[in-house]
Structures are given as structure tokens and as C-alpha cells.
Chains A and B, each alone.
Chain A
Amino acid sequence: MTKRLPLVWCQRRLALLWLAGAAVLVLLMIAQSMGNKYGESTDQAWGWLLPTIIPTLSLIVGAFAAAARRPLDQVTVDGFSYRLTFWLSVFYLLLVILVPLAQPLTGRPPLELMQLSKLWLGAVQGIVGIALGVYFVSSGQTES
């Protein structure tokens, strides 16, 4: 039987992971925008980043905020679901941040690489979303 974990603890870990990942990405993009890395296409670069992280980040932060409104100290979640969601999130965030970091090494124009990355990021983002769904369904079981 899979070990169950406290829901609040899991939510905090996931929220921290996504906020940290998003912060790194946003700071990187801000620095690049200020360095005129994307020239006249800065808005397009941000147009790539925001749909990549905001939907999932909103979901996690929203769930975290909803959980904060009621006492959930006794609520537990399935440990495997949590770990699956956590590491899928790590994998996804690494894939996202790899796009701007690897661009100078590839020689491709940044926007071209961003467009190309949508192919795999979209697929992984879908899997992360499914994993998050399973994680939320698994919540609500009180540890006996």
C-alpha cells in the first residue's frame, strides 16, 4: 500500500517548485528583454513563456489557496501521485528553461527555437496536467 502524505505539505512543495521555476524563467526573460535579446520580437518571446507556465501555476496556486481556507491538517494524499506530479513538474520546468538556455548553443534564432519547442512542451504539459488531476482526486482521504 502506498504511503499517504499530508496534503498541505504536498501543496506547499508543489507551489514552491512551480513558483521557483516560474521566477527563474521570468527573471531570465526580463534580463534578456532588457538586453534586447529578442529585438522587436520581445512580445512574441513573452507570448511563448506565459502560456507555458501560467495555466499550471494558476491551478496549483489556486488549489493551494483554496486549501488554506479550511483546516486540512488531517487530509492526506496518495504519496505516489504526489511524487509523480512533483517530478513531472520538475521535468517540465527543466524542459521549459532549457529552451532559452540552450538557444545560444544551437545557433537557431530564439523565436524559431521557441516555436519548435511547442511540439514537445505541449505534450509534456498535458501529462503534467493529468498527473495534477490524479493528485487532486486522491486528496480528501483522512489518515486513520
Chain B
Amino acid sequence: MIARVLLLAVLATAQRPVTKRPVARPVDPRSVVAPGVVPPVVLPTPVPPAQGAPLASFQGTWLGPGTDSTARRMVRVDGLHIRVSESCLAGGDVECNYEGDAVAYRPLGAAPNDSTISALAVEYGDARWRQSLILRPSEQGRLEAFVYTRYAEAERRNAYEHQVLTRVTFQTIPANIPQFPWPPPRATVTLRLPDSLVAIPGQDSLGTVFDRLRVALTRVDVGWWSVYAIGPNGFAVVTRMEAIEADGRPKPGAERWSGLRAQETPRFSGIGDYLKALFSARPGFYRVIVFAVTERPSGQTADGHGLRARDAEVLVAGGSDQLPAAMRRIRLGADGRCIALIYEFERPSESDTARFVANAAIGALQHLTLAGLWSNEQLRK
């Protein structure tokens, strides 16, 4: 094909580097840099031109499997600095790290103010060998690596490799924050909050979403909540056990947050109230709200059982009070959203234990509005 030309030849003549040409820095401890000993690399294979891509798309850690090349290779791109981990070229079975500052090249015919880059090229080596690595964007977010290795020793043959590099995603799960079970335990009612209210997918960071939730929770004086991670890029906020009336209205005063085992202050307006309290049970109603911010598909646990009140209390007490800084910076993905999971519990009498309510008389929207978190209009947007 006419369009297929030698990339380095083109790079050297028709294109000009975007940045100042850096000096390669070989770091193989066994090598001694001796420029000029190994002649410049002559490219034996044409490299097809590629469409450009922003420099940011080159950034990160890339892995080339051994099946696609002679060697398994890991390439880390940080700005224009490239670090390559592969089998030591000087020999042996150990792995060596080589690094150098790359030269970035524009596509042919790019406008002067176009920052698009078609390839990054770096060279490193010592007196016995030199290797040139050219990276260019490929399909599906991958990189193509063209590797040219030339040896000074006559008995070792120069080599050319083509390798497809796949981005390595490190899922750093913060160790200092426990995980919320996902899929979540079956909730009494659920509601996906409007995107504009709490979490804008693909735009907000987890920190921004958490701050919006915190503002809403502070507005109703929850006082304490528990934060859990949902995988590496999501989180859940579990509110305190809230004592409510049968119709979802919160209990007045301190009774609201007094928990399951709290002693209710008796209030009698007459003998009739006393006799009613003497001969009949005083049922208790409670709710725990979980705000889950995640990209993961929701659903319910395999057994389909609801959350037990005892487990809910453990959840409330078991998390962190803050979202770790490392998680705050993570951007919410395109499928990200905030789901309100409302777990309602009923205690038939003072002597009974609270039980999960599978079918609530009121909906999630009413629960959230009666709790004072948002207005009906805000939730219906």
C-alpha cells in the first residue's frame, strides 16, 4: 500500500517532534552506555501510519502478552517517560527495566495547534545492544508496539517484534474501608435517585456525590452514618436505625435515633392511654436507608432474604465515617447512579425482636420525603 510507509523514516523527515528530543536513559544496571558502538537502528519493516490520539490515551500501564511476541513486555507511560519491563536483553532469565524519554510525533498534515499524537518513540540500550520502541494507538483502546532490537555481537541477530499492548487496570480497593455486600440484601423498597440530584454519571467524582449525600444527611441531623466501598469504584452510605411511626413519619425528638433497644418515654394524656399501654402491645417501626453509588448492576442476593435487624445494626456500626481520599477522586462511570435502598423493620411488641418488612405500606419516595432528605419535587425530577 502506498499509504504504508516506514514510520521512523517519515517521523524523521516529514514530521517534527512535538517536544524537545530527550536523551534516552538506559537503566539496566549491567549496562554501560557507549554511544556509537551499536549503529542506529535500521527499520526492516514498514510501520503503517496511524490516526492520532491525545497524549492522555497513551498514559498508563500496558501489557503485551508473550503469545503475541517473543517476550512478555510491560510498558508504563507517564507523560513522555516510558519504562519497559522485559527479559534482560543482555541475556539471562531475569527481568530488566529499561526507560527513556520518548519523542512524540504528530500525524501527517496535522494543524500546528493540533496536539494529537500519532506515535511515541523511545530508544534505549548499551554498548552491546540497542532497542527502539514505537507506540501508536490501536483499536479498542489498545496500543501497538513496534520493537526493533539490534545487537553489537555478530552472533546475535537483530530482531523485530510487533506486539499489541492492553491497558492494565489496577483495581485498588482501599484497605481501610469495608465492603458493602453486593448484590445488596433484599430491600423493602428501592428508588433510583434522579441523576441531577445526587450523582451525574460520567461526570461527578465519588467525592462530589458523597458530599451531596452528606449535605442531605446533615440537613436531617442523622449525626452518624457508615460508609462502605462497593468494589473499587463505588460506595454505600448506611444511615442510622431510625424509629418511625407506622405511616413513615419519624418519631419526635431523641426517640428518632434511639435505636432498636431504646426505652421509649411514656406519654399518657389520660387513663385511657395508660390502659391501652397496659393491655396492648406497642409496636415499633424502624428504617435504615442505604444510598448505594455504583456502576454495578443491582439485583438481590441469591437467597432473596431481607436484611435482618441485627445485621442492619452491625452495618450501621461497621463502616467508616468518611470516604477515603483515594476513592473521592474516582470518577463515576457512565452506568453509575445512586440507588436508595430502604430497609424497614417492625417490632410487633416491646418484647419481640424487630423483623424485616418485605412489603411496605409506603413507597420509597414517601420514605425519603418523610425522612426530610429531599422534597417530593426534587425526587420526581
User: A residues bordering B, Cβ < 8 Å?
Assistant: 31-32, 35-41, 44-45, 100-101, 103-111
Contacts and interface: CB of A to CB of B under 8 A. Distances in A.
Interface string B249-263: 000000000000001
Contacts of B56: none
Interface stretch (B144-152, B291-299, B344-352): B344-352
Given A32-B278, A104-B274, A104-B278, A39 B352 contact: yes
Given A36-B281, A37-B279, A37-B281, A109 B266 contact: no
6 contacts: A32-B278, A39-B348, A39-B352, A40-B351, A44-B351, A110-B351
B280 A39 contact: no
Given A32-B279, A38-B351, A109-B263, 16 more contacts: A32-B278, A35-B281, A36-B280, A36-B348, A37-B278, A37-B280, A38-B281, A39-B350, A40-B348, A41-B351, A45-B351, A100-B278, A104-B266, A104-B268, A104-B274, A110-B351
A104 B281 CA distance: 10
A40 B352 contact: yes
Nearest to A101: B278
A39 B264 contact: no
B348 A109 contact: no
B277 A104 contact: yes
B190 to A, nearest CB: 29
Measured as residues with beta carbon below 8 angstroms from the partner, the interface class of chain B is 10 to 19
Contact of A35 (B263, B280, B351): B280
Contacts of A105: 266, 274
A39 B278 contact: no
B265 interface: yes
A100 to B, nearest CB: 7
A108 B281 contact: no
A102 to B, nearest CB: 10
A101 B274 CA distance: 9
Given A32-B279, A35-B279, A36-B280, A107 B266 contact: yes
Q: Which of B348, B350, B352 counts the most A-chain CB atoms under 10 A from its CB?
A: B350
Nearest to A111: B351
Nearest to A41: B351
Nearest to A103: B278
Contact of B263 (A32, A40, A44, A107): A107
Contacts of B352: 39-41
Contacts of A39: 281, 348-352
A107 B266 CA distance: 6
Nearest to A42: B351
A36 B264 contact: no
Contacts of B349: 36-41
